[in-house]
């Protein structure tokens, strides 16, 4: 541009870009149906779209900017972790926190050591390249884990452990990859451990603080439009990442913890917020994977297939199972669950993004590292993703979904010091057949309107609720939480919920 040879971006260029992006999004959305039926994580489809658009594909687009890919990948990962944190149930994660933390720290160390040794002794890579590969592929991918596990009915301890691990282990892995890429093998390992501990502590503190403050503010301030709540929630989550990173802490851990706090805070207009976050998460995944597909050069992958298969085999059948056994045996986790969690260590875009760090740092043989990681992720995701449901059935770890949970949306009534709860009764709810009076809502809460079959009416105490009904419940501020707990309890246990020991806090069971 300084020499006047390149033309500035014009409206015509913008129109072309918008057309290409919209077509890519539509193809990616249609591809989700294929991936959901086949059991493959959708990331493989998106990577295929990027490869098809690249210089070896039909699009013939030449793209080799690793630094831009890394920046966009980091931004997309922030959104994906935020969406995952918002959907993580605290009731499931809380019992699994010790085991998940062990996997994210000790498990990563075991996996890095075993995988790096295989890359050095079996493939012949120098220790610096071997350690980088070991660190890069030791992180389970949050997007892949969230997309696959939430379609499989598994025990809450298994899903809670795997989801928390995938949210936690990005932070120490990023620190390791950056350390190995800038200085190679670390002479004083205890200094690196201290740095990791400090960054994790700073990130956790900032994430929890930002999440709590954001949840408190959104619960006590009524915004003028419901569409502002999703924007505010995502802005708070991104602010947690930025604050953590600027404070030299782990921004990835901060955004995940802040999002988890927000996701369990019973915020107003929560269904709309979840839908908005899920949409942003899909866009982030599509954009990130397509860009990574563009960055790879398929005709250069041939020489790296065998090394990738060997390293991936050691990672899958030795390093990952060993790390799971070492970390989970002290918690007396049954061998069936350990087996499934060993196989469920899915890799995805995160390792490929981390493989751009040595490229940006100018590490020797960084292109080889990137190609090995790319082939490893694609091949073993093709193997592990579709076989997870089959393995869960063979290990008899599938669980019944039980009674369907109610969809409750809250809108604050600021001037009236109250809340308007919108309650949808799904098909599997045990609230079907319960009379309004039998709900036994706390004093200060009442069912004011029922929408049934497109018509609305004010219910009587003897009105029988049915599947498909939508209730409007007005509750004063002090009893809002108690009213929601009672509604969820009846939805799971019926009219006798209070006597049968079923309450609204058993979301994970």
* pLDDT given for residue 403 in this prediction: 52
For 504-508, what is the mean pLDDT?
Answer: 41
* pLDDT given for residue 501 in this prediction: 53
Cα angle 442, 447, 451; round to 5? 155
> CA-CA distance, 461 to 483, in Å (whole number)?
17
C-alpha torsion angle, residues 422, 423, 424, 429 (rounded to 10): 170
For 351-365, how does the pLDDT look when each residue is reduced to its tens digit (9 = 90+)? Answer: 888 888 888 888 888
Percent of the residues in the chain that have a pLDDT greater than 90, as a whole number:
17
- The continuous run of DSSP H or E covering 409 comes out as strand 407-413
Q: Which CATH number fits domain 65-394: 2.40.110.10, 1.20.1530.20, 3.40.50.300, 1.10.10.10?
A: 1.20.1530.20
> CA-CA distance, 207 to 85, in Å (whole number)?
11
Q: Which residue has the tokens 């260590």?
A: 345
The whole-model pTM stands at 0.74
Domain 65-394 matches domain 407-500 at the CATH topology level: no
End-to-end CA distance of the chain: 61
For 261-278, what is the mean pLDDT?
Answer: 86
User: Which tokens sit at 465?
Assistant: 């609720």
Listed by start position, the domains of the chain span 65-394, 407-500
* pLDDT given for residue 325 in this prediction: 93
Q: How many CB atoms lie within 10 A of CB 183?
A: 12
For 360-411, how does the pLDDT look when each residue is reduced to its tens digit (9 = 90+)? Answer: 888 888 888 988 988 998 888 888 877 887 888 888 876 544 555 666 666 6
User: Which tokens sit at 489?
Assistant: 């309890």
Pick from 334, 370, 318, 373: which is nearest to 118 by CA?
Answer: 318
- Separation in Å, CA 248 to CA 192, 196, 230, 363: 14, 11, 28, 23
Q: For residue 296, what are the contacts with CB-CB under 8 A and spacing of at least 6?
A: 50, 51, 54, 370, 371, 374
* pLDDT given for residue 133 in this prediction: 92
For 221-251, how does the pLDDT look when each residue is reduced to its tens digit (9 = 90+)? Answer: 777 777 888 999 999 999 999 999 999 888 8
Q: What does the DSSP assignment read for 111-164? A: HHHHHHHHHHHTT---HHHHHHHHHHTTSPPHHHHHHHHTTS---HHHHHHHHH
Q: How many CB atoms lie within 10 A of CB 275?
A: 11
Whether the CB-CB separation of 295 and 63 falls below 8 Å is answered with: yes
Cα angle 9, 13, 19; round to 5? 145
CA-based Rg of the chain, rounded to a whole angstrom?
Answer: 25
Label residues 298-335 b or e (16+ Cβ within 10 Å = b): eeebeebeebbebbbbbbbeebbbbbbbebbeeeebee
> CA-CA distance, 137 to 142, in Å (whole number)?
13
Q: Which CATH number fits domain 407-500: 3.30.70.1450, 3.40.50.300, 3.90.1150.10, 1.25.60.10?
A: 3.30.70.1450
């Amino acid at each position: 541009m300084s020499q006047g040879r390149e033309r500035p971006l014009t409206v015509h260029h913008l129109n072309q870009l918008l057309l290409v992006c919209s077509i890519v999004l539509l193809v990616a959305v249609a591809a989700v149906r294929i991936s959901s039926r086949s059991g493959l994580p959708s990331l493989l489809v998106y990577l295929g779209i990027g490869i098809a658009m690249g210089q070896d594909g039909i699009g013939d687009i030449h793209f080799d900017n690793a630094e831009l890919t890394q920046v966009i990948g980091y931004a997309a990962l922030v959104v994906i972790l935020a969406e995952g944190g918002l959907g993580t149930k605290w009731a499931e994660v809380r019992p699994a926190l010790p085991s998940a933390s062990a996997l994210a720290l000790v498990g990563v160390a075991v996996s890095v050591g075993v995988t790096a040794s295989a890359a050095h002794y079996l493939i012949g890579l120098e220790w610096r390249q071997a350690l980088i590969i070991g660190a890069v592929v030791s992180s389970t991918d949050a997007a892949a884990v969230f997309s696959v596990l939430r379609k499989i009915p598994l025990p809450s301890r298994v899903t809670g452990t795997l989801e928390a691990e995938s949210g936690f282990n990005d932070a120490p892995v990023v620190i390791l990859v950056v350390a190995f890429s800038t200085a190679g093998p670390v002479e004083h390992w205890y200094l690196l451990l201290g740095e990791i501990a400090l960054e994790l502590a700073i990130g956790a503190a900032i994430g929890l603080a930002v999440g709590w403050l954001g949840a408190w503010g959104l619960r006590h301030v009524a915004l003028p439009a419901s569409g502002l709540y999703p924007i505010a929630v995502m802005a708070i989550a991104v602010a947690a990442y930025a604050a953590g990173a600027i404070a030299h802490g782990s921004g990835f851990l901060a955004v995940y913890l802040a999002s988890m706090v927000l996701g369990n805070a019973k915020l107003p207009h929560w269904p709309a917020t979840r839908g908005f976050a899920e949409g942003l998460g899909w866009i982030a995944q599509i954009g990130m994977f397509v860009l990574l597909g563009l960055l790879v050069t398929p005709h250069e992958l041939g020489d790296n297939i065998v090394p990738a298969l060997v390293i991936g085999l050691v990672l899958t059948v030795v390093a990952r199972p060993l790390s799971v056994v070492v970390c989970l045996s002290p918690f007396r986790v049954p061998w069936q669950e350990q087996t499934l969690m060993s196989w469920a260590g899915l890799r995805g875009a995160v390792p490929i993004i981390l493989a751009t760090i040595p490229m940006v740092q100018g590490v020797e043989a960084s292109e080889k590292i990137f190609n090995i990681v790319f082939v490893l992720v694609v091949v073993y995701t093709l193997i592990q993703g579709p076989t997870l449901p089959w393995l869960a059935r063979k290990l008899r770890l599938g669980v019944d979904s039980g009674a369907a949970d109610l969809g409750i949306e809250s809108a604050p009534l600021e001037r009236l010091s109250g809340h308007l709860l919108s309650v949808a009764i799904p098909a599997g709810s045990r609230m079907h057949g319960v009379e309004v009076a039998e709900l036994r809502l706390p004093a200060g809460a009442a069912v004011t309107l029922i929408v049934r079959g497109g018509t609305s009416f004010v219910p009587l105490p003897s009105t029988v609720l049915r599947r498909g009904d939508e209730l409007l419940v007005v509750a004063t501020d002090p009893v809002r939480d108690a009213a929601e707990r009672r509604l969820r309890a009846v939805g799971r246990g019926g009219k006798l919920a209070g006597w049968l020991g079923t309450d609204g806090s058993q979301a994970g069971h």
